[in-house]
Structure 1
Amino acid sequence: MSKKKIALACSVCGSRNYTITENLNRVERLEVKKFCRYCNQHTLHRETK
């Protein structure tokens, strides 16, 4: 069975910069501060479905 990939979208510009594998144990959406190359700064990235 293949694992689903989920994108992390920048909360400022909305670009989907990072992908992660889906974790079925997590009930809330993941929010991580990561570097956005379009904003050129560290911003909050949220899990998209």
Structure 2
Amino acid sequence: MAKKNASLLVKLVSTATKTTKTGEEKLTGYFCVKKRNPKNLPKKLEFRKYDPVVRRHVLFKEEKLK
């Protein structure tokens, strides 16, 4: 029998904010999906990646993939 893959898919969401025309600050909404093995990495993932919406490298934090 084949072993079940222990990796989980997680959503990395950009923490960058963008101001709207009304002056409100909202998240850019940009995200990427990665695999994470909870046995090897019990902590939540955080990466500095490029966000094309704000055209900068920003912090991406892990959230649940719905």
Fold-level similarity (TM above 0.5): yes
SS at match of 1:24: coil
1:1-49 correspondence runs (5 A): 1=4, 4-12=8-16, 13=27, 15-25=29-39, 26-49=41-64
The structure whose Rg is larger is 2
TM-score scaled by structure 1? 0.75
Q: Is the 8 A contact 1:11 1:44 kept in 2?
A: yes
CA deviations 1:1-49 (Å, max 9, x no partner) are: 5653211000122524211113112221111000001111100001111
TM-score scaled by structure 2? 0.60
Q: Is the 8 A contact 2:14 2:28 kept in 1?
A: yes
- CA distance, structure 2, for counterparts of residue 35 and residue 44 of structure 1: 9
- Aligned-pair RMSD on alpha carbons? 1.8
- Number of equivalenced pairs: 49
Identical-residue share of aligned pairs (%): 18
In the TM superposition, structure 1's runs of 4+ consecutive aligned residues that sit over 4 Å from their partners are none
Gaps of 5+ in 1: none
